[in-house]
Chains A and B, each alone.
Chain A
Amino acid sequence: GQQLNQSPQSMFIQEGEDVSMNCTSSSIFNTWLWYKQDPGEGPVLLIALYKAGELTSNGRLTAQFGITRKDSFLNISASIPSDVGIYFCAGLNYGGSQGNLIFGKGTKLSVKP
Chain B
Amino acid sequence: DTEVTQTPKHLVMGMTNKKSLKCEQHMGHRAMYWYKQKAKKPPELMFVYSYEKLSINESVPSRFSPECPNSSLLNLHLHALQPEDSALYLCASSRQRVETGELFFGEGSRLTVL
Selecting from B12-20, B68-76, B79-87, B105-113, the interface stretch reads B105-113
Residues of A within 8 Å of B2, CB to CB, are 41-42, 44
Q: Are B42 and A31 in contact (CB under 8 A)?
A: no
Give the residues in chain A near B31, CB-CB below 8 Å: 98
A108 surroundings in chain B (CB, below 8 A): 40
Chain A's interface size range is: 20 to 34
Q: In the complex, are the beta carbons of A98 and B107 less than 8 A apart?
A: no
Residue pairs across A and B with Cβ atoms less than 8 A apart, 8 shown, are A41-B108, A42-B92, A43-B90, A90-B101, A92-B101, A96-B99, A98-B33, A103-B43
Q: Answer yes or no: B103 CB below 8 A from chain A CBs.
A: yes
B1-39: which residues lie under 8 A (CB-CB) from chain A?
A: 2, 4, 31, 33
Q: Is A59 an interface residue (CB 8 A)?
A: no
Chain A residue numbers with a CB within 8 Å of B103 are 43, 45, 98, 101
Decide if A82 is an interface residue (CB 8 Å cutoff): no
- What is the size category of the interface that chain B forms with chain A? 20 to 34
Given the contacts A42-B92, A48-B100, A106-B42, A99 and B105 also touching, CB distance less than 8 Å? no
CB interface residues, A 1-54, toward B, < 8 Å: 30-31, 33, 40-45, 48
Interface residues of A in 64-104 (CB under 8 A from B): 88, 90, 92-101, 103-104
Interface pair B4/A99, CB less than 8 Å apart: no
CA distance A100 to B101 in the complex (A): 9
Compute how far the CA of A42 lies from the CA of B55 in the bound complex, rounded to whole angstroms: 23
Residues of chain A lying within 8 A (CB to CB) of residue B104: 45
